[in-house]
């Protein structure tokens, strides 16, 4: 191992030093990584990863977040705001940690969720769901919505169980199902009667007959993401009713990822599938404080549902995470209490944020159109998919994989604007459906959007010249 240790420290030194030339950093990095790879090849079976991790090594976030950072690109890729969360939570956090404040806020709290937080969540969703949500048995607080999704899937899916996933989907659903040794079955939202000129998420619909064909005796769950990332589609009440009817007919659990629950634009209506007749008892609704409060780094989420489903999620949580950070839970609780007290009023953050985001959405759409990209206008969420094909740029030199991956690398490296390839949100067999699109995130300061616009416009002009 001495060679590995010295390579490791050289690699670390290179990464941390701004004085060493880039070539030395790259050389040390590739030398170290080659060494790690050769050690992995030599490893005995017992030192190898568990079977259920096979094929799950790649992550679109790992590659493209790293690339955006390395290239110091304007980051319209990953979904996080570059502005501050609202005072309702930041002020609370400052008070909670201030000298002389309650020392217990720095200690463990209740495993399934800090009491003040689950009470605030239950009060709020009792209103949203139109039924009593029990704070102790109907709510589980997790490390982000990621945690809740993991629990919902891994505490219910047995090896061989099938889970239906609607494409495009938030990319972690598939690996989470595979880690449970479940079998993902995919169905893509498709543009209705159109191949050219798709400009609205309303053009993307679910073929209910195709969906019906996926349900069978092995189907354990379906994952619905409403509003959808990356498409920004809002499922209509009719579409959700059709999904709900199939769930009831085949006795299937519905995992409803509603992290963008308040981010709905124009006159569109958001329907929670758990509120449809007889759906509460089979639905786990997944939410995110990170998305609600523009504080994605706080990594706090929750699941809401009937006791017989939430208790399974709680069992998994108590044995792997046990409890989430108390300070963050207390601050989110206070924030929810404040926002809930002004629900429906213009200053409520649940209305203020979508108001601001609708303007950003329209600004981004205009910029993209001016740059000869074709955006699909979202009805919800904070992402916009856009077609880039007719720009006609040659991206063949930009690595392996689908065309959209190459396009994103090209734009990040040569134009300094980072985005995300949309084929990442499709299963292996359906990648071609996402390949014509890249995803832009518009929950960014106007300044950031303006800087990106400048670069994209210059790029578009250079193509015309």
**Contact set with ligand PLP (CB under 6 A):** 79, 144-146, 170, 225, 229, 257, 259, 288, 290, 296, 301
Min dist CB 227 to ligand PLP, Å, is 8
Residue nearest to ligand PLP (CB): 144
Candidates 338, 430, 442, 436; CA nearest to 389 is: 436
Min dist CB 209 to ligand PLP, Å, is: 26
H/E element, 288:
strand 283-288
* φ/ψ of residue 186, rounded to 5: -110, 145
How far lies 460's CA from each of 76, 131, 330, 388, 447, in Å?
A: 17, 52, 48, 11, 20
C-beta of 114 vs 406, nearer to ligand PLP: 114
Which of 74, 295 has the CB closer to ligand PLP?
295
Alpha helices in 342-398 (DSSP H): 349-370
352 Cβ neighbours under 8 A, 6+ residues apart = 86, 346
Question: Cis peptide leading into 194, omega within 30 of 0?
Answer: no
DSSP string, 59-123: -HHHHHHHHHHHTT-EE-SSS--SSPPPHHHHHHHHHHHSTTS-GGGGS---TT--HHHHHHHHH
Q: Shortest Cβ distance from residue 321 to ligand PLP (Å)?
A: 13
Residue 141 contacts residue 302 (beta carbons within 8 Å): yes
Q: Strands 139-142, 301-304: parallel, antiparallel or unpaired by DSSP?
A: antiparallel
The nearer residue to ligand PLP, 225 or 415, going by C-beta atoms, is 225
- Provide the 8-state DSSP code for 379: S
Query: Rounded distance, CA 203 to CA 192, Å?
Result: 6
Nearer to ligand PLP, 226 or 415 (CB): 226
Please identify, using beta-carbon distances, which residue of 226 and 374 lies nearer to ligand PLP. Answer: 226
Nearer CB in complex with ligand PLP: 301/378: 301
Q: Residue 296 CB, nearest distance to ligand PLP (Å)? A: 5
Asked if residue 303 lies in contact with residue 310, where contact means CB atoms within 8 angstroms, the answer is: yes
Question: Rounded to the nearest whole angstrom, what is the least distance from the CB of residue 246 to ligand PLP in the complex?
Answer: 21
Residue 75 or 296 having the CB closest to ligand PLP:
296
167 pairs with which residues across the strands?
Answer: 188
Q: Which is nearer to ligand PLP, 211 or 443 (CB)?
A: 443
**Residue 301 beta carbon to ligand PLP: minimum distance, rounded to whole angstroms:** 4
Give the shortest CB-44-to-ligand PLP separation in angstroms: 35
Q: Beta strand pairing status for 437-441 and 420-421?
A: antiparallel
CB of 257 to ligand PLP, least distance (A): 5
Residue of 419, 422, 423, 426 whose CA lies nearest to 442? 419
Between 79 and 175, name the residue whose CB sits nearer to ligand PLP: 79
Q: Of 32 and 170, which has the nearer Cβ to ligand PLP? A: 170
Question: At closest approach, how far in Å is the CB of 298 from ligand PLP?
Answer: 9
Residue with tokens 């409060």: 293
Judged by beta carbon, residue 201 or residue 403, the one nearer ligand PLP is 201
For the bound state, the minimum distance from the C-beta of residue 459 to ligand PLP, rounded and expressed in Å, comes to: 27
Report d(CA 101, CA 109) in Å as an integer.
16
Q: Which is nearer to ligand PLP, 182 or 381 (CB)?
A: 381
Q: CB 230 → ligand PLP: shortest distance, Å? A: 8
Residue pair 265/378 in contact by the 8 Å Cβ criterion: yes
Does residue 222 sit in helix, strand or coil? strand
Least Cβ distance, residue 148 to ligand PLP (angstroms): 8
306 by Cβ neighbours in 10 Å (0-12 / 13-18 / 19+) ranks as: middle
Distance of CA 181 to CAs 43, 184, 217, 225, Å? 25, 9, 17, 22
């Amino acid at each position: 191992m001495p060679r590995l240790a010295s390579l490791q420290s050289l690699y670390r030194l290179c990464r941390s030093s701004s004085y060493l030339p880039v070539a030395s950093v790259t050389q040390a990095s590739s030398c170290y990584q080659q060494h790690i790879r050769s050690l992995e090849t030599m490893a005995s079976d017992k030192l190898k990863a568990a079977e259920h991790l096979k094929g799950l090594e790649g992550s679109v976030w790992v590659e493209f977040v790293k690339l955006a950072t390395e290239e110091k690109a304007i980051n319209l890729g990953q979904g996080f705001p570059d502005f501050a969360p609202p005072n309702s939570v930041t002020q609370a956090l400052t008070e909670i940690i201030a000298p002389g404040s309650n020392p217990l806020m720095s200690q463990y709290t209740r495993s399934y969720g800090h009491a003040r937080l689950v009470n605030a969540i239950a009060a709020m969703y009792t209103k949203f769901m139109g039924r009593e949500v029990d704070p102790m048995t109907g709510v589980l607080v997790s490390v982000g919505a990621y945690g809740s999704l993991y629990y919902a899937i891994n505490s219910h899916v047995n090896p061989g169980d099938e889970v239906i996933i609607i494409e495009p989907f938030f990319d972690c659903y598939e690996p989470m199902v595979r880690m449970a040794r479940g079998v993902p079955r995919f169905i893509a939202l498709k543009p209705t009667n159109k191949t050219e000129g798709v400009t609205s998420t309303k053009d993307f619909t679910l073929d209910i007959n195709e969906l019906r064909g996926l349900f069978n005796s092995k189907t354990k769950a379906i994952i619905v993401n409403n509003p959808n990332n990356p498409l920004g589609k809002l499922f209509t009440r009719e579409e959700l009713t059709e999904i709900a009817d199939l769930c009831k007919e085949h006795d299937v659990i519905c995992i409803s990822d509603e992290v963008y629950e308040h981010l709905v634009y124009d006159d569109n209506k958001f329907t929670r599938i758990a509120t449809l007749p007889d759906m509460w008892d089979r639905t786990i609704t997944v939410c995110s404080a990170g998305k609600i409060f523009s504080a994605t780094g706080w990594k706090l989420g929750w699941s809401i549902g009937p006791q017989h489903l939430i208790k399974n999620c709680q069992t998994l949580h108590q044995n792997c995470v046990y409890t989430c950070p108390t300070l963050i839970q207390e601050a989110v609780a206070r924030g929810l209490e404040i926002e809930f007290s002004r629900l429906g009023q213009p200053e409520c953050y649940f209305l203020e944020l979508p108001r601001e985001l609708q303007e950003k959405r329209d600004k981004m759409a205009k910029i993209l159109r001016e740059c000869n990209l074709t955006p699909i206008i979202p009805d919800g969420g904070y992402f916009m998919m856009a077609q880039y094909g007719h720009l006609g740029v040659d991206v063949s030199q930009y690595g392996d994989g689908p065309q959209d991956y190459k396009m994103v690398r090209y734009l990040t490296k040569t134009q300094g604007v980072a985005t995300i390839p949309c084929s990442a949100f499709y299963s292996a067999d359906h990648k071609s459906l996402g390949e014509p699109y890249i995803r832009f995130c518009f929950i960014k300061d106007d300044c950031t959007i303006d800087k990106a616009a400048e670069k994209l416009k210059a790029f578009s002009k250079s193509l015309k010249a």
